[in-house]
Amino acid sequence: MPDSLATLEQQRSSILAQILELGDFRSGSITAIGGRCGKPNCRCHQPNQPGHGPNFRLTRKVSGKSVSETFSSAVELRKAQREVEAFHRFRLLSHELLEVNEKICRARPAADTPSPEEKKRRRPSARRSRAK
């Protein structure tokens, strides 16, 4: 049985309230990067050494280009992780909001009275034009 219009509107209001509670968020993903430096005498070049890292980076798209941001402290990393998690929650909620809005659009009855623009619209003549 389809949900009533009032139930759907209540679901939409609930989703919008959840979006408002999200706080700060940003897109992207956080990855750990490890590697070796360019100094030949560094410990990272010794056998069985894991190398430097992990160094965490936030990677995201800006105007179609990938941009990476590094973190200078663990506090900045944790902050960015919270913001990226909030963004993923935002995407999930926006998808739910779209689904509920589509159900509302299908459930809402069409207006019975024509709008003022529809009333003014000229209708084509039923008479045929005379051929010359």
Domain range list for the chain: 5-109
Output 44 or 117, whichever has higher pLDDT: 44
pLDDT of residue 41: 86
Percent of the chain past pLDDT 90, that is, above it, reads: 52
CA 90 – CA 87 distance, rounded (Å): 5
Rg (CA), the chain: 29
CA 6 – CA 13 distance, rounded (Å): 11
pLDDT at 39 over 60: yes
- pTM as predicted: 0.68
Percent of the chain past pLDDT 70, that is, above it, reads: 86
pLDDT at 51 over 90: no
